[in-house]
Amino acid sequence: MTLSADRLAELDAFLIELNRASAAAILPLFRADHGLEDKGLAGPPGAVFDPVTEADKGAERAIRKLINDRYPDHGIIGEEYGEERADAEFVWVLDPVDGTRAFIAGLPLWTTLIGLRHQGRPVLGSIGQPYIGELYIGHAGGSRLLSRGRETPLKVRPCPRLTQAIICTTDPAILTGSELGSWTQVHATARLARLGLDAYGYAMVAMGKIDLALDTGLKVWDVEAVIPVIEGAGGVVTQWDGSPARTDGGQFAFAGDRACLEEALVTLKRSAL
């Protein structure tokens, strides 16, 4: 069963509401007392620093409340509070602050990721950066940027050669040895590389500013919202082995031009899981 245009428009408008509620919970805590905790302390000795703030938790609570009030039959999967009705026809997938490390460092590169899954397939998603006033929304009908009272269509740019590409990854330090080797080779071939962008880099792929974003260890809430934004702008999302994107996470390539991606995959497949 496909979504009607009217139903998609209704859910698109609700997605904007969710972003407003999330922003209202997050913005007062940005560059302020945000109640930092380290989730890694609950893990085994030597666990990596895993920050969470009251912004993460408060925003997810606000989003969940709106969903449960408006659509009580919809499911929810969130990074902070787990699953509710995860087998429902419609399931919202939430990462209230993607890039918490950037958030606690006072850098406006964190985003709010909200995706909607219909019958197991990502159909609607948003990447929001409310501090600088940007909301990227995508679905099968196209992607657009809402910013400063304007609505601008999003379109990836042509980049047929990796040597012409601007690429990004969140942090080479999180890559395994073989993954780092692949990243280093792709980096050496590309024109320019940027680091530390988290999902804001994926938004730049949809905007036609970055050509290829590569990351590993991603969870469902890191990618579910992003796939409709990239694909709605004409881009492509795959695993590092070139297979279609899975919503259960893993190694992801977010690309504007498939030709550029295919060149990178020659290297990435060597370290694909």
pLDDT in tens, 159-172: 999 999 999 999 99
Among candidate residues 91, 121, 154, the one where a domain is terminated: 154
Among candidate residues 105, 129, 154, the one where a domain is terminated: 154
Q: Which domain holds residue 193?
A: 162-271
Are residues 233 and 142 part of one domain?
no
Q: pTM of the prediction?
A: 0.94
d(CA 231, CA 17): 23
Are residues 187 and 138 part of one domain?
no
Report residue 156's pLDDT band, with 50, 70 and 90 as the boundaries: very high
Task: Give the residue from 236, 194, 233, 241 showing the smallest Cα distance to 216.
Answer: 241
pLDDT single digits (tens) 41-88: 656 655 577 789 999 999 999 999 999 999 999 999 999 999 999 999
pLDDT single digits (tens) 91-150: 999 999 999 999 999 999 999 999 999 999 999 999 999 999 999 999 999 999 999 999
Calculated CA dihedral for residues 14, 20, 22, 27, nearest 10 degrees: 170
Among candidate residues 154, 189, 208, the one where a domain is terminated: 154
pLDDT recorded at residue 44: 64
Please give the single-letter amino acid code of residue 127.
I
Are residues 173 and 137 part of one domain?
no
Are residues 173 and 117 part of one domain?
no
pLDDT recorded at residue 170: 96
Are residues 246 and 168 part of one domain?
yes
Are residues 117 and 149 part of one domain?
yes
* CATH code of the domain covering residue 252: 3.40.190.80
Are residues 215 and 143 part of one domain?
no
pLDDT recorded at residue 269: 97
Long-range contact list for 29-32, CB < 8 A, 24+ apart? 29/53, 29/54, 29/55, 29/58, 30/55, 30/103, 30/106, 30/108, 30/131, 31/106
Are residues 189 and 128 part of one domain?
no
pLDDT recorded at residue 46: 54
Are residues 109 and 198 part of one domain?
no
Q: How many domains does the chain have?
A: 2
